[in-house]
């Protein structure tokens, strides 16, 4: 393909034809790799959750098919069996389907990165492909973007590796997910996603549709950089390395069309309503695009949709934007607006539903009020229950009677503690294991104060074990509820934790290097890639490296080392890793930074202060540190009492002069004694 | 096995057609006029006739009826598809009757006496096997296709009878048939066309550029100005999406207001509609708007979109009493005559697929 660039016209034409003959491929990741929809997604994978009574993955597949994708690879991990069953039954796997769907399952996928690495390993894609998640709802026509992408690749000789599709929408728009609010800097002329160019615009009015057009190189890049987990990692990596590797990412901004990813319940709520309000035309509820028997429904004024065999009691009103699935019966004097009700539900008299999302087989008794809540399959809501905003009733929960659930309550049949037990292998657990865990659940009594006298279910609290998206996992509904007093601290915290993880990674790398006898050059390479992965500055890298090396003996042999033992084990290490240091410590400033890191460490470890001299000396001998730098540090660096004291204790100056003499002698005697 | 191969090929084609229908009008699928749609449907039906397995006319009708049901369900607002299915069913009936030797006239004729005596024998009669039936049906469908190909020309040919020199003609939005009609008249006559732009899709703009290219004096007006301008207009000539069984129209949104304005000023309202747009559907008092794609309105409303509901009906219902004349490919007819055309085109048993 790359040879195509500068050929004559004829060659170009044939290659174009070849290109057209290549079927368009897509990679659909039917797993979210997070737990935002827990506890709902404990029983059903997210891609199969119904949106407007149709599984979300069907929207994604329909979107792909309508853009002309002829081959789709569906990657599933969590509850892959269910997804597989669903797809095999759907119209996508009929022999006449224009879009051939291959289902690839593995329990080992833990991130988008794993999936793409597998794509590369199995050599699945031959040409540019579309990458989407299984919960993207869209009617955007990406063929224009695809054309632009191909054109760019032809002109620039494959420099552009990815085109991301964005939709214009003003900040604060309902379908903008508060969590991935993006600010994008792009080159105004070439639509290049950029960090620094001469002329660029910064836009905050874009919505990330999570649709990207990728070239096969993307999969390769994921393989090359094993630390890329998400698309964000990838984008960051590409941008940071733009100068070196010459890869670029472009944007495609569309004004019309609809594209959103259902990343939390807040989004679920708004996408579902948009769907009923026909923003996603032609993917409207009455279109029955899944071609399932009996799924059709009629559409009438004010966006009221009714499936087959719906019965509506006397005096009941369906105000606007209501979708009612087949065989559902609704009692008298009900008030329903902006709601989606699934198949086979029964709803009693005098029920008020506003922005309620009910799935299949839900029973609601009389005098119930539900506001902006999700009620999953098989749930039962007894008499006179009131669900306030943003409640979730997971599968088969029973609530009531006579109860008012406070805002944001999540009720599930899974006990929160059971969750903690099988927390570690959450990704591995499939149906079998879920059954298993049910057995081992200690039978706990339901709390009538929480779920009502006849209720069944536990109030769900997200487990705190999650390190990274702890805060996120807690709120199914997204961050909107508590807007941002803590966002600053949060980001700081995450930065700090990033440093910390980087430090651990460096430690791991060095350890491995020692065990497996890896050449220092390779170690440097690995540390460099870590640096990019965690977005660490060079200065920090050096400081952390120094710290890691100096702490290494403690790590290995515990903190109860005597100073002698410590220096004994440290000095050889310094010698082995001196090339690594030399790689990072080049300018005068680097020397000072390194010294301050050393100082900092020994301030913490005051029992080993005497070792510092030896360390410094060794570093000097190994030519890691320069003499002037040490002297300069000594004369200027004293910032506080403690460090001043440290210097005094050591009498570094005295020693320094001593070494100087020694080293001069060394030089004259042609490195007579190296190890001293 | 070539037979099986043929069949999968056929089902594939049908599925592709259905998918196209479903996506029709979204911008992702190919946007087509109803004429093209009618032709494609007929091609597909011809293919079904040729390739599907059937031994008697009854089987074939059953197959076509089933596929027809699926096709109409895929895109209910596209009535031409259903119409063509009915036309083909009618063709099969006729060919069957001819093969049996009974004249189609006798079968066609309906009387109260016949209705009372005939009973349930209609479907029973189609069980007989005829060797040449297939060829005959395909031949008849080919004739239908040539008829379809000629519709626009046939309508345009009548233009000179209706448009006179120095007249002011008003039209709404864009209709291929009306465009051809006016262009044909422009060869001989000089006249002035006023085009209502038909927001929010503004197909009127396209129409106006098309007309002005052949040298017709054209003015584009906003939809709100229709009534004000009507007093100057001599004739209103519009197209339609469907002609309903009662002689009413289902036409692009805004047509009703044009028709009312025309009635108020006693301006003749002429509808250019080929016969394949004639549908046995009837709409009476309750009529739902047919909402289509809203995404076209998006750019305008992007700012306030989160708090606003947009209703954008695509079609209007125009009652028959507002219409003066239909011009179809077989000549001009009054709305009151539509029922008669209907019974000539479709068999009463096929009205409901």
For residue range A197-215, list pLDDT tens digits in order: 556 777 877 888 889 998 8
CA separation for the pair A278, A52 (Å, rounded): 11
* Helix segments in A382-486, DSSP class H: 416-421, 431-440, 448-451, 470-474
A602 reaches B (C-beta below 8 A): no
CA separation for the pair B338, B342 (Å, rounded): 6
- Residue A495: what pLDDT? 56
Bigger pLDDT: B37 vs B308? B37
Q: What is the ipTM of this complex?
A: 0.74
**Proportion of chain A above pLDDT 70, given as a percent:** 76
- Nearest CB to A279; choose among B15, B295, B303: B295
Coil, strand, or helix at residue A60?
helix
Find the mean pLDDT for residues A601-623. 76
**Proportion of chain A above pLDDT 90, given as a percent:** 9
- Nearest CB to B27; choose among A141, A278, A299: A141
Lowest mean pLDDT among A71-75, A394-398, A427-431, B106-110: A427-431
Place of tokens 């805004």: B254
Confidence bin at A637 (pLDDT 50/70/90): low
What is the token pair recorded at B347?
């068999």
Alpha carbon A658 to chain centroid, angstroms: 56
Confidence check: pLDDT of A491 > 60: no
Place of tokens 């060079």: A538
Lowest mean pLDDT among A242-246, A663-667, B196-200: A663-667
- Residue A666: what pLDDT? 52
- Residue A283: what pLDDT? 79
Confidence bin at A194 (pLDDT 50/70/90): low
CB B159, CB B182: distance < 8 Å: yes
B29 reaches A (C-beta below 8 A): yes
- Residue A23: what pLDDT? 84
- Find which of A256, A290, A292, A299 to mutate to test the B interface (most B CBs within 10 Å of its CB): A256
Coil, strand, or helix at residue A270?
helix
- Nearest CB to A96; choose among B12, B26, B289: B12
Confidence check: pLDDT of B285 > 50: no
Whether A67 and B28 lie within 8 Å, measured CB to CB:
yes
Q: Counting one residue from A and one from B, how many pairs have CB atoms under 8 Å apart? A: 75
Residues of chain B neighbouring A288 (CB-CB closer than 8 A)? 73
Bigger pLDDT: A627 vs A305? A305
The full length of chain B comes to: 353
CB A77, CB A48: distance < 8 Å: no
Residues within 8 A of B (CB atoms), A 128-157 only: 139, 141, 143
- Nearest CB to B294; choose among A94, A173, A278: A278
Confidence bin at A79 (pLDDT 50/70/90): confident
Bigger pLDDT: B306 vs A288? A288
What is the token pair recorded at A648?
């005094």
Residues of chain A neighbouring B295 (CB-CB closer than 8 A)? 139, 256-258, 279, 281
Residues within 8 A of A (CB atoms), B 294-313 only: 294-296, 298-299, 302-303, 305-306, 309-310
Whether A296 and B25 lie within 8 Å, measured CB to CB:
no
What is the token pair recorded at A428?
């591995």
Backbone angles phi, psi at B29, to 5 degrees: -90, 170
CA separation for the pair A339, A321 (Å, rounded): 7
Residues of chain B neighbouring A170 (CB-CB closer than 8 A)? 302-303
Place of tokens 């170690």: A523
Residues of chain B neighbouring A139 (CB-CB closer than 8 A)? 26, 28, 295
Confidence bin at B155 (pLDDT 50/70/90): very high
CA separation for the pair A617, B258 (Å, rounded): 97
Whether B26 and A281 lie within 8 Å, measured CB to CB:
yes
B42-B47-B49 Cα angle (round to 5):
95
To the nearest whole angstrom, how far is the Cα of B12 from the nearest Cα of chain A?
5
pLDDT per residue as tens digits for the range A16-25:
444 456 788 8
Bigger pLDDT: B333 vs A486? B333
- Residue B191: what pLDDT? 95
Confidence check: pLDDT of A626 > 80: no
Whether B288 and A301 lie within 8 Å, measured CB to CB:
yes
Residues of chain B neighbouring A287 (CB-CB closer than 8 A)? 22
To the nearest whole angstrom, how far is the Cα of B298 from the nearest Cα of chain A?
6
Residues of chain A neighbouring B73 (CB-CB closer than 8 A)? 288, 296
Confidence bin at A427 (pLDDT 50/70/90): very low
Confidence check: pLDDT of A479 > 70: no
Confidence bin at A219 (pLDDT 50/70/90): confident
CA separation for the pair B247, B277 (Å, rounded): 11
Direct distance between the N- and C-terminal alpha carbons of chain B, in angstroms, rounded to an integer: 33
Of A553-557, A583-587, A593-597, B155-159, highest mean pLDDT: B155-159
- Residue A191: what pLDDT? 67
To the nearest whole angstrom, how far is the Cα of A249 from the nearest Cα of chain B?
25
Q: What is the DSSP string of A482-547?
A: S-SSSHHHHHHHHHHHHHHHHHHHHHHHHHHHHHHT--HHHHHHHHHHHHHHHT--HHHHHHHHHH
Nearest CA in chain A to B289: A301
B200 reaches A (C-beta below 8 A): no
Of A226-230, A496-500, B284-288, highest mean pLDDT: A226-230
To the nearest whole angstrom, how far is the Cα of B33 from the nearest Cα of chain A?
18
To the nearest whole angstrom, how far is the Cα of A8 from the nearest Cα of chain B?
33
Q: Considering chain A, what is the average pLDDT of its residues?
A: 76
B129 reaches A (C-beta below 8 A): no
Bigger pLDDT: B108 vs B30? B108
- Residue B102: what pLDDT? 64
B215 reaches A (C-beta below 8 A): no
Residues of chain B neighbouring A277 (CB-CB closer than 8 A)? 294, 309-310
To the nearest whole angstrom, how far is the Cα of A459 from the nearest Cα of chain B?
32
Residues of chain B neighbouring A65 (CB-CB closer than 8 A)? 19
- Which secondary-structure segment (H or E) carries A328? none
Bigger pLDDT: B114 vs A152? A152
CA separation for the pair A256, A165 (Å, rounded): 12
Lowest mean pLDDT among A410-424, A643-657, B126-140, B282-296: B282-296
Confidence check: pLDDT of A603 > 50: yes
Find the mean pLDDT for residues A169-188. 70
pLDDT per residue as tens digits for the range B237-253:
999 988 998 899 888 88
Lowest mean pLDDT among A256-260, A483-487, B18-22, B256-260: A483-487
Nearest CA in chain A to B27: A141
Confidence check: pLDDT of B222 > 90: yes
Lowest mean pLDDT among A15-24, A146-155, A594-603, B245-254: A15-24
- Find which of B17, B23, B300 to mutate to test the A interface (most A CBs within 10 Å of its CB): B23
The full length of chain A comes to: 676
- Residue A562: what pLDDT? 74
Return all residues near B76 (Cβ < 8 A) that are at least 6 apart: none
pLDDT per residue as tens digits for the range A504-541:
888 888 788 778 777 778 888 888 888 777 777 777 78
Bigger pLDDT: A595 vs B334? B334
Whether A96 and B302 lie within 8 Å, measured CB to CB:
no
Confidence check: pLDDT of B18 > 90: no
B23 reaches A (C-beta below 8 A): yes
Whether B306 and A66 lie within 8 Å, measured CB to CB:
no
A172 reaches B (C-beta below 8 A): yes
A298 reaches B (C-beta below 8 A): no
Task: Indicate the burial class of B296 (C-beta count within 10 angstroms; 0-12, 13-18, 19 or more).
Answer: middle
| Helix orientation angle between A627-636 and A609-621, rounded to the nearest 10 degrees | 150
- Nearest CB to A282; choose among B8, B25, B298: B25
Residues within 8 A of A (CB atoms), B 42-101 only: 73
Confidence bin at A464 (pLDDT 50/70/90): very low
Confidence check: pLDDT of A571 > 90: no
- Nearest CB to B294; choose among A168, A170, A279: A279
To the nearest whole angstrom, how far is the Cα of A122 from the nearest Cα of chain B?
30
Q: What is the DSSP string of B138-205?
A: HHHHHHHHHHHHHHHHHHHHTHHHH--TT-EEEEES--HHHHHHHHHHHTT---EEEEE--TTTTHHH
pLDDT per residue as tens digits for the range A378-408:
999 998 899 888 888 888 899 888 888 888 8
CA separation for the pair A361, B27 (Å, rounded): 36
What is the token pair recorded at B330?
């077989």
Whether A98 and B15 lie within 8 Å, measured CB to CB:
yes
Confidence check: pLDDT of A463 > 50: no
Confidence bin at A649 (pLDDT 50/70/90): low
Nearest CA in chain B to A91: B15
Whether B22 and A300 lie within 8 Å, measured CB to CB:
no
């Amino acid at each position: 393909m790359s040879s195509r660039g500068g050929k004559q016209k004829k060659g170009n034409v044939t290659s174009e034809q070849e290109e057209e003959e290549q079927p368009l491929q897509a990679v659909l990741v039917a797993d979210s790799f997070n737990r935002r929809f827990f506890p709902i997604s404990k029983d059903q994978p997210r891609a199969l959750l119904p949106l407007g009574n149709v599984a979300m993955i069907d929207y994604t597949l329909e979107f792909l098919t309508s853009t002309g994708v002829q081959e789709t690879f569906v990657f599933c991990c969590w509850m892959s069996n269910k997804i597989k069953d669903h797809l095999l039954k759907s119209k996508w796997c009929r022999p006449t389907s224009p879009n051939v769907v291959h289902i690839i399952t593995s329990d080992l996928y833990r991130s988008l990165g794993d999936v793409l690495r597998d794509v590369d390993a199995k050599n699945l894609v031959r040409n540019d492909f579309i990458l989407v998640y299984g919960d993207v709802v869209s009617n955007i026509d990406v063929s224009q973007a695809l054309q632009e992408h191909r054109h760019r690749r032809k002109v620039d000789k494959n420099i552009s590796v990815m085109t991301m599709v964005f939709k214009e929408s003003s900040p604060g728009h309902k379908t903008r997910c508060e969590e991935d609010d993006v600010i994008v800097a792009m080159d105004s002329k070439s639509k290049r996603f950029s960090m620094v160019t001469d002329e660029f615009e910064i836009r905050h009015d874009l919505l990330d549709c999570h649709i990207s057009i990728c070239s096969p190189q993307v999969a390769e890049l994921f393989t090359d950089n094993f630390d890329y987990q998400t698309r964000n990692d990838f984008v960051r990596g590409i941008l940071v390395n733009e100068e070196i590797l010459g890869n670029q990412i472009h944007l495609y901004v569309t004004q019309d069309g609809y594209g959103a990813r259902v990343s939390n319940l807040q989004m679920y709520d708004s996408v579902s309503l948009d769907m009923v309000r026909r923003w996603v035309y032609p993917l409207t509820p009455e279109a029955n695009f899944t071609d399932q028997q009996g799924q059709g429904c009629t559409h009438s004024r004010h966006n009221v949709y009714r499936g087959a065999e719906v019965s509506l009691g006397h005096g009941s009103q369906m105000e606007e934007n209501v979708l009612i699935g087949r065989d559902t019966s609704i009692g008298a004097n009900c008030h329903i607006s902006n709601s989606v009700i699934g198949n086979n539900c029964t709803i009693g008299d005098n029920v008020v539903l506003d922005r309620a999302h009910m799935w299949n087989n839900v029973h609601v008794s009389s005098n119930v009020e539900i506001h902006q809540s999700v009620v999953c399959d098989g749930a039962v809501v007894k008499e006179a229950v009131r669900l306030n905003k943003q409640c979730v009733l997971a599968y088969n929960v029973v609530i009531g009677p006579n109860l008012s659930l406070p805002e944001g309550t999540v009720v599930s049949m899974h006990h929160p503690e059971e969750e903690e037990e099988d927390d570690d292998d959450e990704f591995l657990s499939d149906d079998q294991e879920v059954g298993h865990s049910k057995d081992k659940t200690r039978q706990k009594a339901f709390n009538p104060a929480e779920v009502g006298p006849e209720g069944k279910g536990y109030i769900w609290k997200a487990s705190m074990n999650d390190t990274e998206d702890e805060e996120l996992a807690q709120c199914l509904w997204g961050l909107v509820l508590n807007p941002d007093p803590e966002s600053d601290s949060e980001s700081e915290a995450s930065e700090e934790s990033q440093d910390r993880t980087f430090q651990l990674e460096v430690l791991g790398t060095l350890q491995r290097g020692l065990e497996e006898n890896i050449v220092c050059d390779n170690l440097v390479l690995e540390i460099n890639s870590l640096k990019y992965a965690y977005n660490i500055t060079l200065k920090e890298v050096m400081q952390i490296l120094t710290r890691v090396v100096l702490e290494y003996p403690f790590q290995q042999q515990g903190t109860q080392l005597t100073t002698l033992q410590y220096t004994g084990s440290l000095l050889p290490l310094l010698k082995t890793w001196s090339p690594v240091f030399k790689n990072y410590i080049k300018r005068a400033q680097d020397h000072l930074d390194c010294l301050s890191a050393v100082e900092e460490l020994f301030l913490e470890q005051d029992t080993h202060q005497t070792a510092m001299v030896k360390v410094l000396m060794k570093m000097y001998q190994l030519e890691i540190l320069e003499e002037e730098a040490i002297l300069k540090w000594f004369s200027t660096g004293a910032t506080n009492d403690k460090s001043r004291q440290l210097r005094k204790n050591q009498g570094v100056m005295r020693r320094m002069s001593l070494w100087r003499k020694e080293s001069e002698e060394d030089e004259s005697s042609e490195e007579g004694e190296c190890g001293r | 096995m070539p037979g099986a191969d043929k069949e999968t090929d056929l089902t594939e084609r049908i599925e592709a057609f259905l998918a196209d229908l479903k996506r029709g009008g979204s911008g992702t699928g190919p946007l087509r006029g109803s004429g093209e749609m009618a032709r494609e449907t007929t091609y597909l039906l011809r293919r079904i006739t040729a390739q599907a397995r059937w031994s008697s006319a009854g089987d074939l009708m059953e197959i076509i009826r089933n596929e027809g049901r699926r096709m109409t369900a895929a895109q209910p607002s596209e009535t031409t598809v259903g119409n063509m299915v009915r036309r083909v069913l009618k063709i099969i009936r006729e060919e069957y009757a001819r093969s049996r030797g009974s004249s189609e006239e006798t079968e066609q004729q309906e009387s109260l006496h016949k209705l009372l005596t005939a009973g349930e024998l209609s479907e029973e009669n189609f069980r007989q096997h005829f060797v040449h039936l297939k060829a005959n049906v395909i031949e008849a469908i080919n004739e239908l296709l040539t008829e379809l190909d000629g519709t626009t020309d046939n309508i345009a040919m009548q233009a000179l009878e209706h448009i006179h020199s120095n007249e002011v003609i008003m039209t709404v939005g864009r209709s291929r048939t009306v465009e051809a009609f006016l262009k044909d008249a422009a060869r001989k006559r000089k006249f002035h066309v006023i085009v209502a732009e038909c927001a929010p899709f503004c197909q009127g703009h396209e129409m106006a550029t098309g007309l002005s290219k052949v040298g017709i004096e054209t003015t584009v007006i906003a939809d709100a100005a229709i009534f004000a301008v009507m007093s100057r207009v001599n004739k209103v000539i519009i197209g339609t999406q469907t002609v309903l069984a009662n002689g009413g129209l289902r036409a692009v949104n805004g047509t009703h207001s044009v028709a009312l304005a025309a009635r108020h000023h006693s301006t003749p309202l002429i509808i250019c509609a080929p016969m394949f747009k004639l549908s046995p559907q009837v709409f009476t008092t309750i009529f739902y708007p047919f909402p289509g794609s809203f995404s076209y309105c998006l750019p305008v409303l992007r700012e306030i979109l989160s708090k606003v509901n947009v209703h954008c009906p695509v079609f209007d219902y125009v009652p028959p009493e507002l219409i003066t004349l239909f011009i179809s490919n077989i000549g001009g007819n009054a709305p009151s005559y539509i029922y008669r055309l209907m019974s000539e085109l479709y068999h009463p048993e096929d009205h409901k697929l």
